[in-house]
């Protein structure tokens, strides 16, 4: 019988020596620090252990050693395959860059019969010429869509109320599908509509072309109607009826809803979630207060809003977790963006929280007047008077002019988080993103000073909160894992 070696032969606890692999660390709370690396692995250590680790004082007798090795924070003589695995994971995280631009927003009309308080853009008007997208613009925009290399393309109709220019939607769908016969992309259409004016004709068309509907539901009736006035003050009634009709015609999962958060929403998160559950919607995006319009101009209320929103979010998330514990799947989509980065090797397709920024790369917006914007936020900024993120015009500029525009490239480069002050050394950077439009709007530069940034503050708080929840309760981690699949 041949000899077997003891474990000491392979693993000598006294043999010191390891090298650090790249990572960032940030204080979580008290003396606890979270370590993360660029591929999203994370570990919590007390500060003294962190320092020992960095000073290469840890050895195999420490319980943290194997955790650090397994998650690729250190590498020792015994194994070098960490490099192969880190390289592979890096590649997976960055794969989204290859497939740019996947979201194309067509603002087919600014006209709308609602006059929502937070809307930056819509016009209560019958002037089609002034506020509808022309046929020529639409045609050119479709050409630009297919200049994107992305194998998956989502065309989203927005407004105003896009159904008010239904004929243009018909045309764009037809042109895109015809073009796609040759292109063979995975082509999907969405109409963002208030559902108040939806007809059977609209629904038939959506069914024929497998178009998804996305609507606005801000909460229970009084809150929703207060936020979203229309003639007859019946927005809520109409959207609920519209959801029912649309589901009956298209299928339950073909209709989704988004909320807009206002001051009035902040104390009422439970009721808002209850409303979503009542309407049989299986998830909600707990949106932050919009920084555009009134809020941008008044920094004074910022601190209050910041805390009030975070409490709104925490309370809402807690309620949602309880719903899941009781066996019903209900997803919080904002957390899911961050959790996807924390728990999986993939980068989610959410344009507003990614680095390099999602402007241009993730989305392009074709406005009713032919102007092309790098993102929806860029369009909203223009409505407030600043056309910084206007990349060009469909009638005068080529695809190359637009996608290689200096503004776009500068904004992408300067806001790149891995090289931005504070971001480059922040443990939450892999879970966060760059938002040059927001920082430009609030601080007049693409990067912004992050200590002054609500964007930064909010995301650091959310990351800390999600990490704490998962550490306290493995069942919560399982629930979160089910959301990111």
Q: Which is nearer to other proteins, 204 or 478 (CB)?
A: 478
- Choosing from 48, 63, 84, 396, the residue that interacts with other proteins (CB under 8 A) is 84
Within a 10 A sphere around the Cβ of 296, how many other Cβ atoms? Answer: 15
Interaction between residue 481 and other proteins (CB under 8 A)? yes
DSSP one-letter code for 425: G
Interaction between residue 385 and other proteins (CB under 8 A)? no
Q: How far is the CB of 430 from other proteins (least distance, A)?
A: 13
Interaction between residue 22 and other proteins (CB under 8 A)? yes
Interaction between residue 300 and other proteins (CB under 8 A)? no
Instruction: Name the one range near other proteins by CB under 8 A: 153-161, 286-294, 358-366, 447-455.
Output: 447-455
Instruction: Name the one range near other proteins by CB under 8 A: 81-89, 254-262, 275-283, 429-437.
Output: 81-89
Interaction between residue 298 and other proteins (CB under 8 A)? no
- What is the phi-psi region of residue 453: left when phi exceeds 0, alpha when psi lies from -120 to 50, beta otherwise? beta
Query: Taking each helix axis from N to C terminus, what angle separates 166-183 and 200-208, rounded to the nearest 10 degrees?
Result: 10
Q: Which is nearer to other proteins, 149 or 421 (CB)?
A: 421
Interaction between residue 91 and other proteins (CB under 8 A)? yes
Q: Tell me the two tokens of residue 203.
A: 């629904």
Q: How far is the CB of 469 from other proteins (least distance, A)?
A: 16
Q: What are phi and psi for residue 193, nearest 5 degrees?
A: -135, 150
d(CA 296, CA 302): 9
Q: Which residues 330-359 are close enough to bind other proteins by CB under 8 A?
A: 344-345
Interaction between residue 248 and other proteins (CB under 8 A)? no
Q: Tell me the two tokens of residue 86.
A: 């880190």
Omega within 30 of 0 (cis) for the link into 160 = yes
Instruction: Name the one range near other proteins by CB under 8 A: 2-10, 236-244, 245-253, 324-332.
Output: 2-10
Q: How far is the CB of 144 from other proteins (least distance, A)?
A: 29
# chain residues binding other proteins, by CB under 8 A: 55
- Choosing from 32, 59, 92, 274, the residue that interacts with other proteins (CB under 8 A) is 92
- Choosing from 41, 64, 376, 435, the residue that interacts with other proteins (CB under 8 A) is 41
Q: Which residues 457-476 are close enough to bind other proteins by CB under 8 A?
A: 474
Q: Which residues 424-443 are close enough to bind other proteins by CB under 8 A?
A: 425
- Choosing from 16, 94, 130, 409, the residue that interacts with other proteins (CB under 8 A) is 94
Strand order in the sheet with 32-36: 24-29, 32-36, 42-46
Q: Which is nearer to other proteins, 89 or 117 (CB)?
A: 89
- Choosing from 86, 255, 320, 394, the residue that interacts with other proteins (CB under 8 A) is 86
Instruction: Name the one range near other proteins by CB under 8 A: 7-15, 175-183, 186-194, 209-217.
Output: 7-15
Give the residue from 104, 96, 105, 169 showing the smallest Cα distance to 132.
Answer: 169
Q: How far is the CB of 203 from other proteins (least distance, A)?
A: 34
- Choosing from 59, 90, 99, 180, the residue that interacts with other proteins (CB under 8 A) is 90
What is the DSSP secondary-structure string of 382-422?
HHTT--TTEEEETTT--HHHHHT-HHHHHHHHHH-GGGSTT
Q: How far is the CB of 23 from other proteins (least distance, A)?
A: 7
Interaction between residue 80 and other proteins (CB under 8 A)? yes
Instruction: Name the one range near other proteins by CB under 8 A: 17-25, 151-159, 236-244, 258-266.
Output: 17-25
- Choosing from 304, 452, 472, 473, the residue that interacts with other proteins (CB under 8 A) is 452
Q: How far is the CB of 338 from other proteins (least distance, A)?
A: 17
Q: What are phi and psi for residue 19, nearest 5 degrees?
A: -115, 155
Beta bridge partners of 214: 192, 256
- Choosing from 249, 264, 422, 461, the residue that interacts with other proteins (CB under 8 A) is 422
Q: Angle at the Cα of 147 (from 142 to 148), degrees rounded to 5? A: 105
- Choosing from 229, 232, 267, 421, the residue that interacts with other proteins (CB under 8 A) is 421
Contacting residues toward other proteins, per CB under 8 A: 1-2, 4-5, 7, 9-11, 19-25, 27, 41, 50-51, 54-55, 66-67, 69-71, 75, 78-81, 83-92, 94, 344-345, 421-422, 425, 449, 451-452, 474, 478, 481-482, 485
């Amino acid at each position: 019988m041949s000899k077997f070696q003891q474990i000491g032969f392979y693993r000598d606890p006294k043999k010191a020596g390891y090298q650090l692999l790249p990572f960032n660390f940030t204080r979580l709370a008290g003396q606890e620090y979270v370590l993360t690396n660029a591929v999203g692995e994370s570990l919590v250590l007390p500060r003294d252990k962190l320092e020992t680790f960095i000073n290469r004082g840890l050895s195999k007798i420490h319980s943290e050693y194997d955790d650090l090795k397994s998650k690729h924070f250190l590498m020792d003589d015994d194994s070098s395959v960490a490099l192969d695995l880190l390289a592979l994971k890096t590649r997976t995280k960055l794969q989204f860059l290859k497939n740019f631009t996947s979201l194309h927003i067509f603002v087919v009309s600014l006209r709308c019969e609602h006059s929502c308080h937070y809307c930056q853009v819509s016009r209560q008007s019958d002037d089609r010429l002034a506020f509808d997208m022309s046929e020529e613009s639409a045609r050119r925009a479709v050409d630009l869509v297919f200049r994107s290399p992305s194998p998956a393309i989502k065309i989203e109709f927005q407004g105003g109320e896009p159904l008010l220019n239904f004929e243009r939607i018909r045309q764009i769908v037809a042109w895109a599908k015809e073009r796609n016969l040759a292109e063979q992309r995975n082509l999907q259409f969405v109409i963002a509509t208030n559902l108040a004016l939806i007809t059977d004709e609209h629904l038939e068309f959506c069914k024929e072309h497998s178009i998804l509907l996305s609507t606005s539901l801000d909460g229970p009736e009084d809150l929703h109607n207060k936020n979203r006035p229309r003639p007859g003050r019946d927005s809520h009634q109409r959207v609920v009826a519209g959801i029912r009709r649309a589901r009956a015609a298209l299928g339950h999962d073909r209709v989704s809803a988004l909320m807009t958060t206002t001051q009035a929403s902040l104390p009422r998160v439970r009721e808002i979630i209850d409303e979503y559950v009542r309407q049989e919607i299986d998830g909600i995006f707990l949106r932050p207060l919009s920084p555009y319009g009134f809020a941008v101009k008044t920094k004074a209320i910022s601190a209050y809003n910041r805390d009030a929103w975070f409490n709104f979010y925490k309370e809402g998330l807690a309620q949602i977790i309880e719903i899941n514990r009781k066996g019903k799947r209900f997803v919080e989509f904002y957390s899911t963006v961050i959790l996807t980065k924390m728990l999986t090797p993939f980068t989610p397709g959410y344009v507003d929280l990614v680095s390099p920024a999602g402007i241009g790369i993730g989305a392009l917006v074709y406005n009713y007047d032919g102007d092309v914007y790098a993102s929806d936020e860029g369009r909203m900024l223009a409505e407030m008077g600043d056309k910084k993120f206007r990349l060009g015009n469909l009638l005068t500029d080529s695809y190359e002019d637009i996608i290689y525009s200096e503004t776009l490239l500068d904004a992408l480069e300067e806001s790149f988080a891995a090289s931005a002050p504070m971001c480059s050394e922040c443990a939450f950077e892999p879970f966060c993103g760059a938002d040059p439009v927001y920082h430009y709007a609030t601080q007049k530069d693409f990067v912004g000073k992050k200590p002054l940034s609500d964007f930064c503050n909010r995301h650091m708080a959310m990351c800390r909160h999600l990490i704490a929840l998962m550490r306290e309760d493995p069942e919560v981690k399982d629930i979160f894992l089910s959301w990111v699949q």
